[in-house]
Amino acid sequence: MFTVNPFVELSGLISPLTMQMFVVVMVILTVGGTILDMIHKKNAKYFFENLKKLQKSATRHVPTGEKISIIVKTLAHDVATSAEFCGFQRRLAHLLGMYGTIIFWITSIIMIFSYPTSSSTPIIYPLLWHLGALMTCIGGYWFWFILRVDVRVEGNPWYRIVTADLFVLALVATSTSGLLWSYFQSSGTSGLSTLFLILFIVSNIVLFGGVYWSKFAHMFYKPGAAIQKHLAEADGSRDFLPEPVDKPEEYGLGIKRSEPQNY
């Protein structure tokens, strides 16, 4: 199972060109949904208007070299390591889901476009495909059942679903159905294999077709927001906020007695 390219056997039912066109359509849906989200929420307009205001209140000029350094450090620290999450569990769950999804998507594209009918697919790609799906499932289910703020802090039941949950639910559904499809396909159970293949296709359509209604687009906004935050700190504008004051000793050691249960 783990060393077999699941798309090779699928090519007997669905042509490689159809699979490739499906991927292209999913990309178009993602781009289109993100653009519609930006137009509806006016994120880009707000960002550029706020940027102009911050530039006027800046207290120093940041050289280009320093800006590049800030951007690189932000991508390497804030984005690549999910530094925005203070809690270890939340951060680890997010990293598992993020890198698992990236690995899953990249290897899917490689196998569909480069080895759709080849039984000699390099073993590393099927291994990474299954590993990525497993990582996404672990991170996604961990987050859904244990770490969600509205469940852990606000006391809502785990099965309470709102529109914002569409992204994570579609993500874990895609990975789960993909793994089960691969398992039953390799075991020769045609009925269940077909069932989970259909679920795999449908969950992908929901995931990429639901960008406008889900939090999918946020993954594109967060890096930009993090970069802007650090640039604002460097030029002194600080998003119109005062400098932070950190004096925990004034509150005694009691502040460290319990781990914060929030973002």
Q: What's residue 67's pLDDT?
A: 86
What is the spatial distance between Cα 166 and Cα 127, in angstroms, rounded to a whole number? Answer: 28
Q: What's residue 257's pLDDT?
A: 60
Look up residue 31 and give its two tokens: 């781009």
Q: Which residues of the chain are modeled with pLDDT < 70?
A: 44, 86, 149-155, 158, 239-240, 242-263
Q: What's residue 262's pLDDT?
A: 52
- pTM (two decimals): 0.81
What is the spatial distance between Cα 146 and Cα 171, in angstroms, rounded to a whole number? Answer: 17
Length of the chain: 263
**Pure H helices in the chain:** 6-10, 16-41, 43-57, 64-74, 88-114, 124-142, 149-152, 166-186, 190-209, 218-235
Q: What's residue 161's pLDDT?
A: 79
Cα 202 → chain centroid = 19
Measured CA to CA in angstroms, residue 260 lies from 7, 88, 97, 152, 251 at distances of: 45, 11, 22, 11, 16
What is the spatial distance between Cα 209 and Cα 263, in angstroms, rounded to a whole number? Answer: 28
Tell me the three-class secondary structure of 73-134, residue by residue.
HHHHHHHCCCCCCCCHHHHHHHHHHHHHHHHHHHHHHHHHHHCCCCCCCCCHHHHHHHHHHH
Q: Does residue 178 contact residue 200 with C-beta atoms inside 8 Å?
A: yes
Give the three-class secondary structure for 15: coil
Q: What's residue 173's pLDDT?
A: 96
Angle among Cα 37, 22, 40 to the nearest 5 degrees reads 5
Q: What's residue 248's pLDDT?
A: 54
Q: What's residue 263's pLDDT?
A: 45
Q: Does residue 117 contact residue 11 with C-beta atoms inside 8 Å?
A: yes
